[in-house]
Amino acid sequence: MALMNRQVVLRRRPDGLVVPDDTELVTVPSPEPADGEALVRITYVGVDAAARTWLDDQPGYLPPVQLGEVVRAAGIGEIVSSRCDAYAVGDVVTMLAGFTDYTIVRDDLFCTPVTGMDVVDHPAVLSVYGPTGATAYFGMHDVGRPEAGQTVVVSAAAGATGSIAGQIARIAGARVVGIAGGPDKCRAVVEDFGFDACIDYREGDLDAALKAHCPRGVDVYFDNVGGEILDAVLGRLAANARVVLCGVISSYLTGEHPGPANYVNLLARTASMQGFNALNEWHRFDEAFAALRQWDADGLLVHRETVYEGLESCVDALNGIFTGANLGKMMVKISEPT
Ligand SMILES: NC(=O)c1ccc[n+]([C@@H]2O[C@H](COP(=O)([O-])OP(=O)(O)OC[C@H]3O[C@@H](n4cnc5c(N)ncnc54)[C@H](OP(=O)(O)O)[C@@H]3O)[C@@H](O)[C@H]2O)c1
């Protein structure tokens, strides 16, 4: 009997959060792998802010998802049939797939075997030993470069990237202040992820809180958010500060990027602001995973996952990262790992 494949496809480009008529859950025959390909049964899909930007008709580092195509997302799964030398049945791989039960992979940039990494915890692979952990590592290690005793601020600190990035700075000996939405998240940032302090940006005066928590200024700011929070932190930079431009989640739903007035402080503080794209460091992912695994083994790294159940909940999960529904990595369980 033919294997059937459920997929969430794009029907209409969303305006803001994704609403029911923007996508459709369809059932189609599963694709057959051709020579040089393999078929993967997805176990978990990661839900990234970028997945929402790919639904807009805007050029980016990947082409927009076209109407009728599967909503793109990173995932992990198991090879169930193979017609290539790179993968055997049972191998666990991470890949850029989508909200779908099955997908085809090739031996290329977007598919990485993880079986050899000795990692059996699929959610942990998505939250740490995949693009999210690599993003935190390259952004903080290469661009932020925190030193012992320096003050590091991380926005979206209770999220997947921010929670790991802040811990990397703390391991380097920095004093780390998170910014997150709500008292529960701020408590988790300090008590679970081990930050020194956390500011609730939804409560009170952000400028005053930054001044209180960063009396000598901010040496490194790891920015996941942009907008008003970026502007406020730019106003508190220390001399020679580094601003890591990781993401701009506050503007992904509107597509509007209000300019930060306090950018003039980059001049006054001889500071720098640099963007980066973790996918450009694909050839160095092993370096990132080795460091993360060592810290994990040493008990220095905490990761959390927020897991939704079933393909039907993928869109809710995607919307959830814009409403702050996640602690740690947002993901959806699609099927049971063997
Ligand atoms: N440069 C790269 O290579 C790269 C790679 C991957 C991801 N990224 C970027 O990294 C950032 C974090 O992504 P992630 O996947 O790890 O997501 P995440 O941090 O796990 O989830 C997003 C969090 O952002 C916060 N947020 C949402 N809307 C906000 C707003 N308007 N203002 C302030 N905070 C808001 C929410 O937390 P609160 O409840 O605390 O508000 C939410 O939980 C994104 O900007 C993403 O684009 C960059």
Specify the CATH number for the domain of residue 172.
3.40.50.720
Place of tokens 């580092």: 61
pLDDT at 282 (0 to 100): 86
Classify residue 86: in a domain, yes or no. Answer: yes
What are the distances in angstroms from CA 101 to CA 3, 95, 320, 330, 332? 10, 13, 21, 18, 11
- The mean pLDDT of 44-64, rounded to a whole number, is 93
Q: How far is the CA of 336 from the centre of ligand 1 (A)?
A: 27
Whether 177 shows a pLDDT value over 90: the answer reads yes
| Whether residue 195 is found in the same domain as residue 274 | yes
Indicate the average pLDDT of the chain: 94
Last residue of a domain, one of 243, 263, 279: 279
Classify residue 315: in a domain, yes or no. Answer: yes
pLDDT at 241 (0 to 100): 98
Question: Where residue 50 falls among pLDDT bands split at 50, 70, 90?
Answer: very high
Q: Which of 55, 6, 58, 66 is nearest to 319 (CA)?
A: 55
| Whether residue 121 is found in the same domain as residue 8 | yes
Whether 118 shows a pLDDT value over 70: the answer reads no
Classify residue 291: in a domain, yes or no. Answer: no
| Whether residue 245 is found in the same domain as residue 157 | yes
pLDDT at 115 (0 to 100): 59
Atom of ligand 1 nearest to the CA of 181: 40
Measured distance CA(235)–CA(250) in Å, rounded: 18
Classify residue 59: in a domain, yes or no. Answer: yes
Cα 120 to chain centroid distance, Å, stands at 20
Question: Where residue 110 falls among pLDDT bands split at 50, 70, 90?
Answer: confident
The pTM for the full model equals: 0.95
Whether 32 shows a pLDDT value over 80: the answer reads yes
pLDDT at 130 (0 to 100): 84
**Per-residue pLDDT tens digits for 65-104:** 999 999 999 999 999 999 999 999 999 999 988 999 999 9
- The mean pLDDT of 187-193, rounded to a whole number, is 98
Measured distance CA(40)–CA(138) in Å, rounded: 28
Question: Where residue 308 falls among pLDDT bands split at 50, 70, 90?
Answer: very high
Q: Which amino acid is at 247?
A: G
pLDDT at 114 (0 to 100): 76
Torsion sign over Cα 14, 15, 18, 19: negative
Whether 117 shows a pLDDT value over 60: the answer reads no
Return the CA Rg of the chain.
Answer: 20
Atom 37 in ligand 1: which residue has the minimum CA distance?
Answer: 324
Q: What is the share, in percent, of the chain residues with pLDDT greater than 70?
A: 98
Classify residue 296: in a domain, yes or no. Answer: no
Instruction: State whether the beta carbon of 304 lies less than 6 angstroms from ligand 1.
Output: no
The backbone torsions φ and ψ at residue 44, rounded to the nearest 5 degrees and listed phi first, read -140, 145
Q: What is the share, in percent, of the chain residues with pLDDT greater than 90?
A: 87
Question: Where residue 192 falls among pLDDT bands split at 50, 70, 90?
Answer: very high
pLDDT at 119 (0 to 100): 58
Measured distance CA(188)–CA(185) in Å, rounded: 5
**Is 127 in a helix, a strand, or coil?**
helix
Measured distance CA(323)–CA(253) in Å, rounded: 11
Measured distance CA(319)–CA(325) in Å, rounded: 9
The backbone torsions φ and ψ at residue 103, rounded to the nearest 5 degrees and listed phi first, read -150, 160
Q: Are 279 and 256 in contact (CB under 8 A)?
A: no
Whether 257 shows a pLDDT value over 90: the answer reads no
DSSP label of 172: T
pLDDT at 129 (0 to 100): 86
DSSP label of 139: I
| Whether residue 89 is found in the same domain as residue 163 | no
| Whether residue 120 is found in the same domain as residue 139 | no
* Of 220 and 107, more confident: 220
* Of 225 and 338, more confident: 225
Whether 1 shows a pLDDT value over 70: the answer reads no
| Whether residue 169 is found in the same domain as residue 248 | yes
Cα angle, residue 36 at apex, residues 5 and 131 outer, rounded to 5°: 70
Total count of domains within the chain: 2
b/e burial code for range 253-285 (CB count within 10 A of at least 16 → b): beeeeeebebeebbeebebebeebebbebeeeb
Classify residue 294: in a domain, yes or no. Answer: no
- The mean pLDDT of 114-137, rounded to a whole number, is 84
Q: Which of 180, 168, 278, 174 is nearest to 219 (CA)?
A: 174
| Whether residue 160 is found in the same domain as residue 42 | no
| Whether residue 34 is found in the same domain as residue 107 | yes
Q: How far is the CA of 246 from the centre of ligand 1 (A)?
A: 9
Classify residue 288: in a domain, yes or no. Answer: no
The lowest-confidence range among 22-26, 56-60, 197-201, 311-315 is 56-60
- Burial (CB < 10 A; 0-12, 13-18, 19+), residue 197, is middle
Q: How far is the CA of 48 from the centre of ligand 1 (A)?
A: 8
| Whether residue 267 is found in the same domain as residue 317 | no
Measured distance CA(306)–CA(240) in Å, rounded: 37
Torsion sign over Cα 60, 63, 69, 71: negative
Classify residue 202: in a domain, yes or no. Answer: yes
pLDDT at 2 (0 to 100): 80
Instruction: State whether the beta carbon of 48 lies less than 6 angstroms from ligand 1.
Output: yes
Measured distance CA(154)–CA(137) in Å, rounded: 13
Whether 120 shows a pLDDT value over 90: the answer reads no
For ligand 1, mutation pick of 62, 319, 321, 330 (most atoms within 8 Å of CB): 321
Cα angle, residue 301 at apex, residues 50 and 168 outer, rounded to 5°: 65
| Whether residue 29 is found in the same domain as residue 119 | yes
Last residue of a domain, one of 247, 263, 279: 279
* Of 290 and 2, more confident: 290
Task: Identify the CATH number of the domain in which residue 87 sits.
Answer: 3.90.180.10
The backbone torsions φ and ψ at residue 66, rounded to the nearest 5 degrees and listed phi first, read -85, 155
Instruction: State whether the beta carbon of 249 lies less than 6 angstroms from ligand 1.
Output: yes
Whether 256 shows a pLDDT value over 80: the answer reads yes
The backbone torsions φ and ψ at residue 34, rounded to the nearest 5 degrees and listed phi first, read -90, 180
| Whether residue 146 is found in the same domain as residue 220 | yes
Q: How far is the CA of 49 from the centre of ligand 1 (A)?
A: 6
Domain hosting residue 254, numbered range: 135-279
| Whether residue 189 is found in the same domain as residue 274 | yes
- Structure token digits, residue 33: 């792998």
